[in-house]
Structure 1
Amino acid sequence: MSALGKAVEGLGETVLAARNVAKSYGNIHALKGVNFEVRRGQVTTLFGENGAGKSTLMRILSGVTPPSSGEILLDGVPVTFASSVDARDRGVSIIHQELSLAPNLSVRDNIFMGRELRGPTGVDFAEEERQARALMEELEEDIDPLTPVEELRLGQQQIVEIARALSINARILIMDEPTSALSASEVEVLFKVIRDLKARGVAIVYISHHLEEALQITDHAVVLRDGAMTAAAERRNIDLEWIVRHMVGENFDLGAPPTGYNFGPVALSVRDVSVTDKSGIELVDRLSLDVRAGEVVCIYGLMGAGRTELLEAIAGRQALSGGAIVLEDRDVSRLSIAERIQRGLVLIPEDRQRDGLVQTMSVGTNLSLASIKAFTRGLFTSTAREDALIADSIRRVHIKTGGADLPIGSLSGGNQQKVVIGKMLATLPRVVLLDEPSRGIDIGAKAEVFKLLAERARDGLAVVYSTSEVGECLSIAHRIIVMSRGRIAAEFGSDVTKEKIMAASGEAVVA
């Protein structure tokens, strides 16, 4: 099976449209009379800050939730989707921003879950495996279809999510942040697939906070702001400045390294640390690094450079195969994650949904979870102290929420990220590690996160963050560490150029 096919006629015709669509949740107006259309054989890119209404509009178009008012037109005819399955059966498929895979099931089973292929004697597992393998080849991923999803890295799980959507052979494909966990090479493969799908006549909606990346693939751009459409234009009439101006009203930058103070003593010392995978391959190879109180250090590297493994080893999530982790002159290498948190060493993980949040809990409970000892005495909890901590965290981290009692899933991606950061900062750490802190959040929320980190560095917090985006290196970092194949390939100050960083990582620099 192939998700791709021959070119078709009728390219550019509107196949799916929203007319005066509004959506309210109580007093919150997520969408305010939006008009939006998707064209056959074209990519319509939807830009907007977290909370602008992008995901809400996509959930309506894909049948996940009904609109409060307005109508949806499919091929010019009003339609009501009873569910996402109903929308899928009519040719509308969505790749959600947050992964919706079953980690204990195989790649094959995840791709065909809920629409299993049937044979004379039941589910045809052999045919499912063959089709899953063909999809992996099409996406240029060497993934065995029988591998449990939980054994895959985050980027590979994203590929499985994409493969599941492609397997449906949809007429309309909605991609909500499909590249947030992909490497540069994986993004290129996805863009190749998108171009082939366009030639076949598939209408694509593409949502991404990687603005420059999205410009490579878009044919038509729409900007949402506070639930309303603020701009729409063809690709030839837009650039990065146009997008940012209509998204946030002004050009945003990610700040500069905080100044006006002296660094304190060494807060974190990584000494000859090695991390080995199950097959004995060195993911981190005898790496040493010191970070001082008040210093902001960025760790840059391509996918597989060892960034995540290093941060997880420091935080206690990965076992060391050699070396030591020293926090303020005390070896914490043998301490548990909880014990390291108590001593002031915390990690904000890359996958906030799986590792940073409890989806069944409220905004407030997620914020207070890591600080529970601060307001408990024996078997009793001080509700007043907990409420004060939650209110203080919401204020300090600038979380936009209708209330602390609301479910965490009611927040936008950027505000969920702020909850994870706020939860760990509430423990009053001495060192904070952040793995891809801007993953899946918009330029405005990204600027707020980096501003917050810079403010805390001025207060003496040692900050270490990893990123695969060069622009984020050139923001608040005093020092930039480039990793390659588990080792430090180069070290730079804040005045380094983008080209030097990329060259040191082994990444090709495109003129």
Structure 2
Amino acid sequence: MTDSPAAGASPVVDMRGITVEFAGIKALDGVDFRLFPGEVHALMGENGAGKSTLIKALTGVYRPTAGTIRLKDEPVDFTTPGQAQDAGISTVYQEVNLCPNLSVAENILLGHEPRRLGAIDGRAMRARATGLLARIGLTVDPASVLSSHSIAVQQLVAIARALVVDARVLVLDEPTSSLDSDEVEELFRIVRVLRDEGVAILFVSHFLDQVYELSDRMTVLRNGTLVGEYLPRDLDRMGLVSAMLGRELGVLTEVERRSEERAPGSAPVLVARGLGRAGAIEPFDLEIHEGEVVGLAGLLGSGRTELARLLCGADRADKGTLSVDGETVRPRGPRSLIARGVAFCSEDRKAEGVVADLSVRDNLILATQASRGWARPVPRRTAEAMVAEYIERLDIRPADPDAVMGNLSGGNQQKVLLARWLVTRPRLLILDEPTRGIDVGAKAQIQKVVAELAAEGMAVLFISAELEEVVRVSDRVVVLRDRHKVAELSGGDVSVDSVMSAIAADAHGEVAVAS
């Protein structure tokens, strides 16, 4: 790993005072960012920190409201991604955005095909592709169809494509999210080769171990502002986590806990043993009892949602066993677990929850109606009683069953989605970021309802990026890091400090401290 940039070296990218606004809301506020030739620079921050916005400002997707961008000491003002690519800035995204039905060579040279007599020269194209693949040490048949290769190879093909324009800057946006450990090592080998050739590499990842293994410097963003630029040796994992979350270990005020501890039921509602899915979450054990709230904590990308999707049957596990109320289940989809009383409220309410054009009533009874089948509609009187009960219990506003769902505030939409599952009387309720993006009042109301549900005997898995919130509502907290379950805390061990320590620990379970 290289040291800090050599004295007198000029950055290949120098962004100063970058501000990006949408409808008066600042997604970035006066951010500075430097990227030097021959370095891997990690861009760190939680969801909403502004990482993607900064990258899009650099690559011509967004035009900054204020600030300047210089490329090799020359001012630039990209208005399209094509202009940024022509200037030598290439991006490889988390989701491979290539054409799976085309050959490897066609994907690499797409838009830059060599021509002869006005037609594409296939032989020259394959030869050029072979040379680019050789540059990164990848041996595949350039004539082979891209879809015949693994995601890891496709990711490397995307990097080869980035080299077509003789990239001086390579942006890698979560490139390891779908790769196993061996594939990650191969990707890192290629990244180091390019770094040593002088390419400046901007690396975005939520895997702390990978960041410390690969990066030469780090820039941390939080809430659209710059926290700082650091050498990895000067910022230990705990310091990095604190910078990203805006909290410091040792000076945190303990959040007020529940007024009384809730003892787990005598038998677990759900038991997972060695449950896992390749590329999503490593095998884990978990029990959730009646009347218990289990919190799930970890940084973005740690595997929180992936774990939840296995428990509710949205994704199929390829390892381990799952049982509900003592009965082993092999779910083929969410319906089999819904039938056993497992309900899942997704973090993406817009894409996976809200039906914006329907009324509050129709949204609220949707799960109940689905369980009955469309040939047996919920009786009108029953539906009205259910809707009225939960509009009152959750203080949904406006208190009008006929209100159009899309016209409600985010907090009230979230309450309707919570009510949708509560009317089914589930044994286990999985809540994935139920308070994200809602106001303080709605957040407090949902937390209060979670406590009431547990007191009534319901089991709850509560997932949140806000550590204080997880600590406040949970009897136990399971901590994830880099897709692994790394800790399980209960009783007096449940605190923000202990959760942060588990998140920041290295691969050996020790909290690394900078020398």
Which TM-score bucket, shorter chain as reference? 0.5 to 0.7
Q: How does 1:309-388 map to 2 (within 5 A)?
A: 312=310, 315=313, 317-318=315-316, 326-328=323-325, 333=330, 336-345=333-342, 373=366, 382-384=401-403, 386=405, 387=408
Report the equivalent of 1:108. 104
Cα 1:267/1:375, change in 2 over 3 Å: closer
What corresponds to 2:434 in structure 1?
A: 397
TM-score (norm 2): 0.60
Shift in Å at residue 451 of structure 1?
6.5
Give the distance between the partners of 2:336 and 2:330, measured in 1 at CA: 11
Q: Any idea what SS the aligned residue of 1:243 has?
A: helix
Task: Tell me by how many angstroms 1:433 deviates.
Answer: 8.7
Whether contact under 8 Å (2:294, 2:474) holds in the other structure is yes
1:122 and 1:78 mapped to 2: Cα distance?
Answer: 35
Q: How does 1:81-480 map to 2 (within 5 A)?
A: 81-96=78-93, 98-101=94-97, 105=101, 108=104, 111-112=107-108, 114-115=110-111, 117-120=113-116, 121-122=119-120, 124=122, 127=126, 131=130, 134=133, 138=137, 145-148=144-147, 152=150, 158-159=155-156, 161-166=158-163, 168-251=165-248, 260-264=261-265, 265-268=267-270, 292-293=289-290, 294=292, 312=310, 315=313, 317-318=315-316, 326-328=323-325, 333=330, 336-345=333-342, 373=366, 382-384=401-403, 386=405, 387=408, 390-392=413-415, 397-400=434-437, 446=465, 448=466, 458=475, 468-470=482-484, 472-476=485-489
Which amino acid in 2 is paired with 1:222?
T
Say which SS state the counterpart of residue 14 (structure 1) adopts: coil
**2:10 matched residue in structure 1:** 13
1:313 touches 1:320 (CA, 8 Å); kept in 2? Answer: no
Structure 1 pair 159–25 and aligned structure 2 pair: CA distance change class (3 A)? same
Q: 1:10 to 1:115 in 2, by over 3 A?
A: farther
**1:24 equivalent in structure 2:** 21
Residue pair 1:20, 1:69 contacting (<8 A) in 2 also? yes
SS in 2 for 1:22: strand
Secondary structure in structure 2 of the residue aligned to 1:473: strand
Displacement of 1:456 in angstroms is 6.8
Partner of 2:445: none
Cα separation, 1, equivalents of 2:273 and 2:230? 53
**Contact 1:346/1:429, CA 8 A, preserved across alignment:** no
**Which residue does the alignment assign to 2:398?**
none
Q: What letter matches 2:219 in structure 1?
A: V
Query: CA distance change for structure 1 residues 148 and 429 in 2, over 3 Å: closer, same or farther?
Result: farther
Tell me, in whole angstroms, the C-alpha distance in 1 between the residues paired with 2:214 and 2:112.
32
1:408-444 alpha-carbon deviations (Å, 9 max, x no partner): xxxxxxxxxxxxxx9xx9xx9977899xx8xxxxxxx
User: Could you report, residue by residue, the CA deviation over 1:143-171 in whole angstroms, capped at 9, with x for unpaired residues?
Assistant: 9952527x856x66655554543554410
Which one of the candidate residues 75, 79, 85 is aligned to 1:78? 75
- For 2:249 and 2:177, the matched residues in 1 are separated by 20
| Shift in Å, 1:247 | 3.1
The whole-number CA distance in structure 2 between the counterparts of 1:18 and 1:182 is: 31
Deviation of the 1:251 alpha carbon:
3.3
| Residues 210/270 of structure 1: CA separation in 2 closer, same or farther (3 Å cut) | closer
Note closer, same or farther for the CA distance 1:141–1:113 as it changes in structure 2 (3 Å cut).
Answer: closer
SS state at 2:12 partner: strand
Question: 1-side partners of 2:243 and 2:317: how far apart?
Answer: 46
Structure number with bigger Rg? 2
Amino acid at match of 2:487: L
Residue 28 of structure 1 deviates from its aligned partner by 0.9
1:483 alignment partner in structure 2: none
Work out the number of aligned pairs and report it.
416
Deviations 1:319-346 (A, max 9, x none): 999x996533567547753343354335
> Which deviations, in whole Å up to 9, do the C-alpha atoms of 1:165-196 show, x marking residues without a partner?
35544101122233333333333333322222
The Cα shift of 1:93 comes to 0.9
Question: Structure 2: where are the runs of 5+ without partners?
Answer: 1-5, 297-305, 370-376, 388-400, 419-432, 440-449, 492-501, 511-515
Which letter does structure 1 place at the counterpart of 2:334? I
CA-CA distance at 1:94 after TM superposition: 1.6
Aligned 8 A contact 2:323 2:329 in 1: yes
Q: Quick check: 1:45–1:218 contact (8 Å CA) kept in 2?
A: yes
Q: Is the 8 A contact 1:129 1:145 kept in 2?
A: no
Question: What residue number does 2:46 align with?
Answer: 49
Q: Which amino acid aligns with 2:50?
A: G
- RMSD (CA atoms): 5.8
Answer yes or no: is the 8 Å Cα contact 1:345–1:430 preserved in 2: no
Q: Is the 8 A contact 2:18 2:64 kept in 1?
A: yes
Do the aligned partners of residues 209 and 365 (structure 1) sit closer, same or farther apart at CA in structure 2, a change above 3 Å counting? farther
Cα distance in 2 between the residues matched to 1:275 and 1:248: 28
TM-score (norm 1): 0.60
* Match among 60, 68, 72 for residue 65 of structure 2: 68
Q: Which amino acid aligns with 2:16?
A: R
Identity of aligned residues (%): 24
